[in-house]
């Protein structure tokens, strides 16, 4: 299992467009991908779950990836979040 902590910098937080991009990227991998914001956690392969996290600007999010392709998955998700200017 691999995990990283990131801080959301987007003033809107995780909204529909980046949630969709994260979800479609996570779905390409066998590994489970979980985002955690405080006490809330979400399966990153679900747009609805990601949006339900209510991750706002300044929130610290833990991204945990577990599975055979966890290294590639965590890097791909981090890249998408950087491209979407979330982190």
CATH 3.30.1340.10 for domain 2-83, yes or no, is yes
Give the predicted TM-score (pTM) of the model: 0.94
| pLDDT tens digits along 1-29 | 999 999 999 999 999 999 999 999 999 99
HEC letters along the chain: CEEEEEECCCCCCCCHHHHHHHHHHHCCCCCEEEEEECCEEEECCCHHHHHHCCCCCCCEEEEEEECCCHHHHHHHHHHHHHHCCCC
The domain ranges of the chain are 2-83
| Residue 2 known to be catalytic | no
**Strand partners of residue 35:** 42, 63
| pLDDT tens digits along 20-78 | 999 999 999 999 999 999 999 999 999 999 999 999 999 999 999 999 999 999 999 99
Torsion angles phi and psi, residue 79, rounded to 5 = -60, -45
Identify the pLDDT of residue 59. 98
Q: Exactly one of 15, 32, 46, 52 is catalytic; which is it?
A: 15
């Amino acid at each position: 299992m691999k995990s990283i902590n990131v801080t959301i910098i987007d003033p809107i937080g995780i909204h529909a467009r980046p949630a969709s991009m994260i979800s479609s990227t996570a779905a390409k991998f066998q590994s489970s991908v979980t985002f955690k914001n405080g006490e809330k956690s979400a399966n990153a392969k679900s747009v609805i779950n990601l949006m339900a996290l209510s991750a706002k600007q300044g929130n610290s999010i833990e991204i945990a990836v577990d599975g055979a392709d966890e290294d590639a998955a965590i890097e791909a998700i981090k890249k998408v979040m950087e491209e979407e200017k979330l982190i």
